Amino acid sequence: MNKYQSVIEELMIPAGIELGNGENSDLIIHDERFYDRILRDGSLGLGESYMDGWWDSSNLDGFLYKLLCANIEKQASRNWQLILHSVKSKLLNLQTIAKSGIIAKKHYDLGNDLFEKMLDKYMQYSCAYWTKAKTLDKAQQHKLELICRKLKLEPGQNVLDIGCGWGGFAQYAAEKYQVKVTGITISKNQALLARKRCKGLPVEISLQDYRALEGSFDRIVSVGMFEHVGYKNYAEFMSIAQRCLKRDGIFLLHCIGGNESTTKTDVWINRYIFPNGMMPSVKQVGEAIEGRFILQDWHNFGLHYDRTIMAWLKNFKNSKAKLGSKYEERFYRMWEYYLCLSAVSFRAKRNHLWQIVLTHQDFKGEYQAVR
């Protein structure tokens, strides 16, 4: 028996987590070095040891959900890597223009084939809207429609899409509402596919950072991009949106948010999935909005993200054979762990999904919230 096994068991068993070799065990340990690694590296060690095949679970998302609900990570000791990560996030601006390309290379440029097989037909890499939908495709279409209705789109309007991804919203809005869309992304792979998707439509896709934006737009939308802005840049982001939005315009921000103000994300997520990303809090978003916009609507449907990500996980698992040897086994385990961890963060209400509607302070008329 590993000398640290009893320590880990004392943390996990009260949370209803079963360790063992049985098929129904929450944790099936294949390598006893697991115990030392967890005590030394916390959440980083847990994720890395799963990637390395040191443990498995009959119900990975269920195990991670129990872990989050029990706040076990706060009970575990912190090592120098975790401390350094925290200090760096407070002292440095990790989301400068020079550093902004890191996330594109690390994540969004992994390969369009991966995302095409995992996502819906509009390739929406953000929370779907499941209120009246039973499939991922329908739920994502309903999300796009919800955004368009909240923006109150009308034919001929100029729309700015900050962080346009693979062009799904631009395509939908141009086809369904006859608007002109300017989309920006920092991912070369996204830009290539977005241009192909929107060919023949009044859509322009630009490979650029949001800080280089110019022009004036009737509507602005940003879906799933604010999580990469960083708390040191929230005010600048809002100021740029304020400058680019016409006086009678509407701005919709669709983003993940957390319960507490922070300057960093989970160290495993930061290293392997979203480098330099972070979830804003209500306070941080509010401070960036204050003096720049009027808050017209704040809609939280975070539990829809759990269902969305589990649908992505199902598609990802079903596509493993088609993706073949392009990705190594360690990547497949990493990606599965990432999706499960993300899903349960919403299930445990650690994270939320916000759609925030903003207008200029001198906006005329009344804004009616849409659901």
69-102: per-residue pLDDT in tens? 987 666 554 444 444 434 344 444 444 555 556 7
| Whole-number Å distance between alpha carbons of 26 and 32 | 16
Query: Nearest to residue 341, comparing CAs of 267, 254, 276, 283?
Result: 267
| Whole-number Å distance between alpha carbons of 4 and 39 | 8
What pTM did the predictor assign? 0.91
Q: What is the pLDDT of residue 78?
A: 46
Helix (H, G, I), strand (E, B) or coil at 319: coil
152-209: per-residue pLDDT in tens? 999 999 999 999 999 999 999 999 999 999 999 999 999 999 999 999 999 999 999 9
| Cα separations in angstroms, 135 against 33, 78, 245, 344 | 42, 41, 34, 20
Structure tokens at 31: 């390598």
Parts of the chain with a pLDDT under 50: 77-95
Q: Which strands form 27-29's sheet, in the order they lie side by side? A: 19-20, 27-29, 55-56
| Cα separations in angstroms, 294 against 65, 185, 352 | 36, 26, 21
Sketch the domain layout of the chain as residue ranges. Answer: 5-77, 98-359
Q: What is the pLDDT of residue 6?
A: 81
Per-residue three-class SS string for 232-252: HHHHHHHHHHHHHEEEEEEEE
| Whole-number Å distance between alpha carbons of 266 and 252 | 27
What fold is seen in the domain 98-359? Rossmann fold (3.40.50)
Helix (H, G, I), strand (E, B) or coil at 351: strand
| Whole-number Å distance between alpha carbons of 86 and 266 | 10
Q: Which helix (H) or strand (E) holds 193?
A: helix 188-197
Number of C-beta neighbours around residue 318 at 10 A: 11
| Whole-number Å distance between alpha carbons of 159 and 151 | 10
Q: What is the pLDDT of residue 97?
A: 58
| Whole-number Å distance between alpha carbons of 172 and 160 | 14
| Whole-number Å distance between alpha carbons of 273 and 66 | 22
Q: What is the pLDDT of residue 214?
A: 96
Structure tokens at 341: 């961890």
